[in-house]
């Protein structure tokens, strides 16, 4: 009997290893780090972007069965596929009404970015609070068990493993996970947001941080998200079990963050100086060369991928490699990609540039690096010229309040899109 049990344990151990390797291989193929693969994925999803998506999008059937969602988010995150490119393609096949749910989901990312652009101090406050929570929970056993997928809560451990192994979670699973983390386990929301940001291929500062705040009840005061066993059972088709009682009331979330009113967006209408102008592409907008190349005559092009900054924030090497490879695929081979502001400043100086043109970087890690770059360039008498794509210019101002108010501006953005 003992030998049989031992053999069964060995079998389960090697089966887990086999499944993990299979998942990793599958996701390497799904999230291939080049534009051709991204566009191929868009075309494959295209027939399902209408009513079928609306009916099935909330179901999490597991990492081996994702046909009911687009799986485009890691490429959208980098704008290797831009929001306007995706929606323009979808609207060639589906009407606005039939694709409305998919349109909304794409626009949520723009909404989160716009909301944070209007309140950049929320990110700064988050970092301060995160540092305090890290120190406080450094030896918290429950926290360590959670991020190592050994909490004993079947569903949570399954989602943790999937996140670590694949860099992806279904949106519904992200909501359930955050809710249980915050309201049932009463762990700091800041640490949960950090854990996601480190592992998600599609993780960006705005969408990730603000989604966790929303679940916690900090985004819309008095309104939080509480996961329910029946909901998890229904939308995982009974696949996952939550073997603990779930919170029925919101946790009292302590936060040092200020409630801020929306500010004003910088106009970025500064004139382009005379003389030699170079284009700098960063990984927050890999579409920039397409829409900035006609702004003026460009003498030189370079890329900025601040890998050291991402490592400082604990971003996983697999995530860094995916994004770096995507950037390399989007830029001609003869264009150099620099990893720090100093090298970019040296490039601009050696090219004898009077200005460096670039897409505006949203609030977050890359933007903080660009602020350092701005100082380095200014010291050499070189000006940074930032531009915001018309999509963001049109929609960011509408992100001052909730999504449903923001949603009123989507039709006019789509009208403009179809005319371009």
Per-residue pLDDT of 148-190, as tens digits, reads 999 999 999 999 999 999 999 999 999 999 999 999 999 999 9
212-238 average pLDDT score: 93
Does 14 fall in a domain?
Answer: no
Q: pLDDT band for 260, please (50, 70, 90 cuts).
A: confident
Where is the domain boundary, 183, 204, 235?
235
Residue-wise burial string across 195-217, b where 16 or more C-beta atoms lie within 10 A, e elsewhere: bbbbbbbbbbbbbbbbbbbbbbb
Does 174 fall in a domain?
Answer: yes
pLDDT score for 31: 78
Does 261 fall in a domain?
Answer: no
pLDDT score for 30: 60
Does 241 fall in a domain?
Answer: no
Query: What is the maximum alpha-carbon separation in the chain?
Result: 84
pLDDT score for 7: 46
Paired tokens of 362: 């949203």
Q: How wide is the angle at C-alpha 293 spanned by C-alphas 291 and 297, nearest 5°?
A: 155
Does 409 fall in a domain?
Answer: no
Co-location of 290 and 200 in the same domain: no
Does 161 fall in a domain?
Answer: yes
Co-location of 144 and 97 in the same domain: no
Co-location of 283 and 369 in the same domain: yes
Co-location of 134 and 106 in the same domain: no
Co-location of 134 and 228 in the same domain: yes
Q: Which residues pair with 220 in a beta bridge?
A: 223
Query: Domain limits at 75?
Result: 31-117
CA distances from 277 to 105, 308, 341, 367 (A): 37, 27, 17, 21
Paired tokens of 122: 């929320």
Distance, CA of 75 to CA of 326 (rounded, Å): 8
Per-residue pLDDT tens digits for 301-345: 999 999 999 999 999 999 999 999 999 999 999 999 999 999 999
Co-location of 110 and 143 in the same domain: no
Does 10 fall in a domain?
Answer: no
pLDDT score for 241: 86
**Closest C-alpha among 95, 78, 86 to residue 39:** 86
Q: What is the pTM of this model?
A: 0.91
212-223 average pLDDT score: 90
Q: Is the pLDDT of residue 222 over 90?
A: no
Q: pLDDT band for 295, please (50, 70, 90 cuts).
A: confident
Where is the domain boundary, 208, 235, 262?
235
77-88 average pLDDT score: 96
Element (H, E) at 20: helix 2-30
Q: Is the pLDDT of residue 14 over 60?
A: no
CA distances from 116 to 142, 205, 211 (A): 31, 9, 12
Co-location of 135 and 112 in the same domain: no
**Lowest-pLDDT choice from 10-19, 199-208, 284-293, 409-418:** 10-19
Co-location of 157 and 100 in the same domain: no
* Number of Cβ atoms within 10 Å of the Cβ of 68: 18
Per-residue pLDDT tens digits for 98-150: 999 999 999 999 999 999 999 999 999 999 999 999 999 988 999 999 999 99
Does 404 fall in a domain?
Answer: no
Quote the crossing angle between the two packed helices 205-216 and 171-179, to the nearest 10°.
50
CA dihedral of residues 319, 325, 327, 331 (deg, nearest 10): 180
CATH number of the structural domain spanning residue 354? 3.40.50.620
Contact 378, 326 (CB under 8 A): no
- Tabulate helix, strand, coil % of the chain (nearest 5): 55, 5, 35
pLDDT score for 18: 42
Mean pLDDT of the chain: 91
Domain tally, the chain? 3
pLDDT score for 171: 97
Co-location of 286 and 209 in the same domain: no
Distance, CA of 194 to CA of 216 (rounded, Å): 14
CATH number of the structural domain spanning residue 170? 1.10.579.10
CATH number of the structural domain spanning residue 76? 1.25.40.80
Paired tokens of 339: 């990893």
């Amino acid at each position: 009997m003992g030998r049989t049990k031992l053999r069964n344990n060995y079998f389960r151990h090697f089966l887990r290893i086999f499944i993990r390797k299979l998942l990793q291989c599958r996701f390497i193929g799904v999230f291939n780090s080049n534009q051709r693969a991204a566009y191929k994925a868009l075309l494959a999803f295209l027939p399902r972007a209408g009513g079928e998506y609306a009916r099935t999008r909330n179901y999490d059937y597991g990492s081996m069965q994702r046909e009911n969602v687009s799986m485009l988010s890691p490429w959208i995150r980098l704008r290797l596929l831009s929001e306007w490119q995706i929606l323009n393609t979808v609207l060639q096949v589906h009407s606005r009404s039939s694709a409305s749910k998919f349109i909304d989901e794409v626009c949520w990312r723009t909404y989160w970015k716009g909301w944070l652009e209007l309140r950049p101090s929320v990110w700064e406050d988050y970092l301060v609070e995160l540092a305090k929570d890290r120190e406080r929970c450094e030896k918290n056993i429950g926290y360590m068990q959670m991020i190592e997928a050994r909490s004993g809560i079947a569903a949570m451990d399954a989602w943790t493993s999937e996140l670590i192994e694949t860099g992806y979670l279904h949106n519904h699973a992200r909501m359930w996970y955050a809710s249980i983390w915050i309201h049932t386990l009463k762990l700091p929301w800041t640490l949960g947001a950090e854990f996601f940001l480190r592992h998600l291929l599609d993780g960006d500062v705005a969408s990730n941080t603000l989604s966790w705040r929303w679940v916690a009840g900090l985004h819309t005061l008095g309104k939080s998200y509480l996961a329910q066993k029946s909901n998890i059972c229904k939308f995982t088709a009974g696949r996952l079990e939550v073997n603990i009682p779930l919170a029925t009331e919101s946790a009292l979330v302590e936060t040092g963050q200020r409630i801020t009113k929306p500010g004003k967006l910088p106009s970025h209408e500064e004139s382009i100086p005379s003389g030699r102008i170079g284009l700098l592409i960063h990984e927050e907008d890999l579409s920039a060369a397409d829409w900035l190349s006609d702004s003026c005559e460009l003498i030189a092009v370079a890329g900025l991928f601040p890998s050291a900054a991402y490592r400082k924030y604990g971003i996983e090497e697999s995530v860094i490699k995916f994004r770096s490879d995507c950037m390399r695929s989007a830029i001609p081979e003869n264009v150099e990609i620099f990893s720090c502001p100093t090298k970019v400043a040296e490039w601009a100086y050696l090219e004898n540039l009077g200005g460096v043109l670039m897409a505006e970087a949203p609030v977050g890690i890359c933007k903080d690096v660009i602020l350092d770059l701005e100082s380095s360039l200014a010291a050499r008498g070189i000006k940074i010229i930032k531009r915001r794509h018309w999509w963001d210019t049109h929609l960011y101002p509408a992100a001052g309040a909730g999504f449903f108010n923001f949603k009123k501006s989507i039709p006019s953005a789509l009208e403009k899109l179809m005319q371009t």
